[in-house]
Amino acid sequence: MTSAFPSSFKHPSGRTLAAALLGLFTAAAVPAIHAQEFPTRPVRVVTPFPAGSGPEVALRLVADKLSKLWGKPVIVDNRPGASGFIAIEAIKRAAPDGHELLQMDNAQMAAQPFLFKKLPYDLLRDFEPVTPILRNYFFVTVPAGSRYKTMSDLSAAAKAGPGQVNYGSWFVGSPGHIGAAMLETSTATKMTHVPYKEMSQLYVAVGNQEVDWAFGSAASAGAMQRAGKTRYLAVAAPKRVAGFPDVPTVAESGGPAGFELSAWTALLVPKGTPKAVVEKIQKDVAAVLSEQDVKDKYAAMYYEPYFLNSDQFLQQLRSDAQRYGDTIKRLNISLD
C-alpha cells in the first residue's frame, strides 16, 4: 500500500508514513519536564482562524477552561492568512516544552500536503499532534425550491445528464470542492464545479438557484437556511446530528453508504515536546471537553466536542490523508 502522503511529506529519515506517524508519539531527547510541573509559565495557542470565527471562538472557550485548570494564562494568538502558513511558521520553531501550541484543521494537516508542491512545514518533522477539540459535519445544501428531495434524486439527475448538475464551493481545493468530488466518485457521476471566492457568496448563490447544491456546515450555510432560502437535503455524517433531527444522513437519503465529510480542528505542539507533557495536555483537554457547559456552548455553534487519543488521532489523520490525497491527485489540483 502506498503512503497516504506525497513523497515530499515523508519523514526526513526515509521511514514509511506509518512508521513516521507512529514515531510522532515517542518520547523526545530533550530536557525532562515532569507533567505535574506543567505549565510553569503562560501558555500560547496560535490559531490560523480570524477573531470571531467559529473555530477561534471554540478555541478561546477551551483556552479559558485550561487557564483556570492550570492556574496560568492560556493566550490565544490570532495569525490568520496565507492558508494557515503564518500561524504554522509562528510555532514550528518554538521551544518544545508544551507552552506553545498550534491549532490546525484537518484540511491543513491532510489536504495541503497534496495541494502544494512546496510547503513551509512538514507535519511529521515539525509537530507532535496532541488531540482534536471540535468537529462538525457538512450538509448537502440545495435551494429551498429545488426539485431534488433526496440524494437519490440528485444522483439520478447527475447520472442522466453528465455535467448538467452543478455544485459550488468556496474555492478550488476547498473541503467543499474535494468532498463533492468524493461524492461524484462514490455515486459514479460527473457534475460541474462552480468555485466562488467567498463562503458568503456561495450560499447566496445556492439560495438564488445559481448552483444546484453545495456542501456547507450549519455555521457557514445556516443563515440562508434559517431565512428559508436554502434547505438541507442530507448530512454527510454516520448518524443524524443534534439540532437537525429531521435531516437524514446521506445514506438514509439514498446516497452512498458510509459517506462522511467533516471539518475538525486539533491542537499540536512542536516536535520534541516530552511525551509526559503531551499526555497531560491530552488529559486536561479531555476533561474540559467533557464539561456540560462546554458541550452546550459548542452545540450553540453547531460543533461537537471531539477528543482522540494518540492512536485514534493517528488513524483519523491517515484516513483523511488517504481520502483527500486520492481525490486531489485524481483531479490534478495544485494551489502553487
CA dist., res. 143 & res. 213, Å (int): 7
In the chain, list all ranges with CATH 3.40.190.10. Answer: 139-235
Name residue, grid cell 460527473: 190
Angle, helices 292-300 vs 275-289, to 10°: value is: 70
Contact in structure between 133 and 267 (CB atoms under 8 Å): yes
**pLDDT at residue 11, as a whole number:** 38
Q: Which residues of 45-78 are buried (b: 16+ CB within 10 A; e: fewer)?
A: bbbbbeeeebbbbbbbbbbebbbeebebebebeb
**pLDDT at residue 336, as a whole number:** 82
Phi, psi (degrees; rounded to nearest 5) at 168: -105, 160
In the chain, list all ranges with CATH 3.40.190.150. Answer: 7-135+264-331
**pLDDT at residue 37, as a whole number:** 87
CA dist., res. 46 & res. 128, Å (int): 15
Contact in structure between 125 and 12 (CB atoms under 8 Å): yes
CATH superfamily placement of domain 7-135+264-331: Bordetella uptake gene, domain 1 (3.40.190.150)
- pLDDT tens per residue, range 238-252: 999 999 999 999 999
Residue 291: all three cell numbers together: 464539561
Phi, psi (degrees; rounded to nearest 5) at 51: -60, 135
Name residue, grid cell 485514534: 312
Contact in structure between 175 and 142 (CB atoms under 8 Å): no
Residue 10: all three cell numbers together: 515523508
**Residue ranges of the chain with pLDDT lower than 70?**
1-35
Q: Which of 16, 200, 239 is CA-nearest to residue 124?
A: 16
Query: In the sheet where 192-195 sits, what is the strand order?
Result: 192-195, 166-169, 213-216, 139-143, 230-235
The helix or strand, by DSSP H or E, that contains position 47, with its residue range, turns out to be strand 43-47
What is the value of pTM for the model shown? 0.86
Return the DSSP state at 84.
Answer: G
The rounded Cα 114 to chain-centroid distance in angstroms is 15
**pLDDT at residue 35, as a whole number:** 67
Structural fold of domain 139-235: D-Maltodextrin-Binding Protein; domain 2 (3.40.190)
- pLDDT tens per residue, range 77-92: 999 999 999 999 999 9
